[in-house]
């Protein structure tokens, strides 16, 4: 699903069939058996792919997967890698010019085109929301499913960590730290990357004014536009019975 054209495709699991020990499929269903009767007898297919793929196969998803893989092969892995490395270097140069921006992790090369950072004094999820609403730029905020590594990156001590956990246990997520994750795709143009850098520069310059349009929900650790709640209530009213 990370490939170009991949969202909406199915996953592909590849493993050595010698590792397969299941006598019963993980999800038994139609198409996994060769024989059944009313007295509880049944025989599963010997073919692992068939017996583990119960129900109607995801034909469209499988076709999309094949097309995404084919497109990746046509682009060429070496060219993808070269362009990604070029974008990473341009991103590092530009991000270092943004006031208060701290890049997390190493800035060495070669590396994949994923850059995590935070802006000093600005909540990471506010950065995410403002980039989306003001510039149409989508980035991800949070700990990127790497909370343990995040302790190291953000220098969170054991005492601080347990303090954060106590707040979370009480339903307050506002103390949970995080960062902004920017993903660079080889099809991204230099102009698009420059727009991201410019957007971050404008954000840091105007955040105090722009943030007045937003509220903060400590239960989700997220920001919302003050008019969005009115829209949500209107949507919910459509389904009131």
Query: How many residues are given for the chain?
Result: 241
Please calculate the CA angle 155-111-5 and round it to the nearest 5 degrees. 110
Percent of the residues in the chain that have a pLDDT greater than 90, as a whole number: 74
16-50 burial, b at 16+ Cβ within 10 Å, e below that, comes to: eeeeeeeeebeeeeeebbeeeeeeeeeebeeeeeb
Q: What pLDDT score does 67 carry? A: 95
CB–CB of 141/117 below 8 Å? Answer: no
Q: What pLDDT score does 212 carry? A: 97
pLDDT in tens, 108-141: 878 889 999 999 999 999 999 999 999 999 999 9
Model's pTM, two decimal places? 0.82
Looking up tokens 């979370």 gives 168
DSSP 212: G
Domains identified in the chain and CATH numbers: 17-75 (no CATH), 78-236 (3.90.1150.10)
100 token code pair = 């208060």
CB atoms within 10 A of CB 174: 15
């Amino acid at each position: 699903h990370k490939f170009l054209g991949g969202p909406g495709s199915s996953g592909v699991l590849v493993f050595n069939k010698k590792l397969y020990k299941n006598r019963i499929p993980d999800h038994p269903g139609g198409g996994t058996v060769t024989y059944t009767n009313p007295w509880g007898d049944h025989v599963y297919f010997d073919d692992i792919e068939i017996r583990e793929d119960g129900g109607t196969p995801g034909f469209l998803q499988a076709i999309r997967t094949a097309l995404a893989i084919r497109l990746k092969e046509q682009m060429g892995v070496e060219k993808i890698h070269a362009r990604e490395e070029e974008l990473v270097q341009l991103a590092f140069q530009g991000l270092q010019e943004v006031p208060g921006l701290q890049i997390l992790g190493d800035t060495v090369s070669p590396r994949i085109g994923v850059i995590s950072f935070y802006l000093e004094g600005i909540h990471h999820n506010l950065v995410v929301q403002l980039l989306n609403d003001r510039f149409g730029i989508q980035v991800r905020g949070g700990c990127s499913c790497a909370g343990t590594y995040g302790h190291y990156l953000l220098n969170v001590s054991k005492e601080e960590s347990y303090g954060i956990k106590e707040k979370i246990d009480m339903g307050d997520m506002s103390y949970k730290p995080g960062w902004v994750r920017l993903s660079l795709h080889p099809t991204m143009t230099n102009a698009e990357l420059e727009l991201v850098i410019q957007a971050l520069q404008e954000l840091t310059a105007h955040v105090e004014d722009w943030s007045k349009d937003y509220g903060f929900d400590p239960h989700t650790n997220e920001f919302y536009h003050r008019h969005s709640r009115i829209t949500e209530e209107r949507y919910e009213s459509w389904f009131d019975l």
